[in-house]
A and B are shown apart, each in its own frame.
Chain A
Amino acid sequence: MKTKVVLVACGTAVATSTVVAMAIEDAMKAKGIPVTIRQCKATEVPSLAPDADLIVSTTPVPDNLGKPVIKGLPFLTGIGKDAALDQIEAALRAG
């Protein structure tokens, strides 16, 4: 399977996206899906989206990015985290 690029965004690219990025990297490694994680600010998402396979963001991003977008909040609250990981896995396997 080709390495997939996951763009992980939050407001500052230093805080919440760090936690989300680590969680996704660990979980996808465990599922045998090779991923490269790129962290960015939400404002940088439109310019970086073309090179990504999937976007996970803790803050709202525009909806016309042409790539699947998954909410990152479950990785912070713990609520719905497994479902979010399933969505990410499905999107990466489909892409």
Chain B
Amino acid sequence: MSNSLMRLISPQLVFAGVEAGNADEVIALLGNKLAEQGLVADTYVEAVIARESDMPTGLPLGEINVAVPHTDPEHVIAPTVAVATLTRPVPFGNMEDPDEKLPVSIVFLLALKEKDKQIEMLQAIVGLIQNGSLLEEMTAAADKEDILALLAKAA
């Protein structure tokens, strides 16, 4: 499906079995990695956390729920995506119903710059989100190599 997704997901930005107590911790952990690599501005993490509390990004999928935190392009230097599977699901608000909390097991932290140039990447991520068996395999993956292999196969 998408070479563009695999081009944007670097092994340094894939994390298996992350331990986190809440959504802010997951966003900070992943967002700080993006900042360390110069892919986002110093303002990015705070902006994503603020947006997540205001307009959450949890997606109700049934068995394994996913969240796609992101923020305005002004905080982004280069488009990318970071991926984490969580050892224990962490509550994220439901995008459609922010007062409802969803237990989320996989997080795709999006750093988006110009919408027209990232259509392929976004569609690829939505394709992954709609692939229930892939999500299940991702949560069972032991390490980042396993996750990268699953993503490469699916994408």
Q: With an 8 A cutoff between CB atoms, is B146 at the interface?
A: no
Q: Are B130 and A77 in contact (CB under 8 A)?
A: yes
Query: Do A14 and B123 contact each other (CB < 8 Å), given the known contacts A58-B96, A76-B129, A77-B129?
Result: no
Given that A15-B110, A16-B95 are contacting pairs, would A59 and B55 also be in contact in the complex, using a CB cutoff of 8 Å? yes
Is the CB–CB distance between A14 and B95 below 8 Å?
A: no
The answer to whether B115 and A59 touch across the interface, beta carbons within 8 angstroms, is: no
| A59 lies within 8 A of B126 (CB) | no
A15-34: contact bitstring with B at CB < 8 Å (1 yes, 0 no)?
A: 11011001000000000000
Pairwise interchain contact B51-A11, C-beta atoms closer than 8 A: yes
Closest B residue to A20 by beta carbon equals B126
Type the 1/0 row for B55-73, where 1 means its CB is closer than 8 Å to any CB of A: 1010111100000101111
The CA-CA distance from A85 to B57 in the complex, in Å, is: 22
Q: B71 to A12, Cβ gap below 8 A?
A: yes
15 CB-based A-B contacts, threshold 8 Å: A11-B55, A11-B57, A12-B72, A14-B114, A14-B118, A15-B70, A18-B118, A22-B119, A42-B55, A59-B96, A60-B96, A73-B60, A75-B126, A76-B129, A78-B130
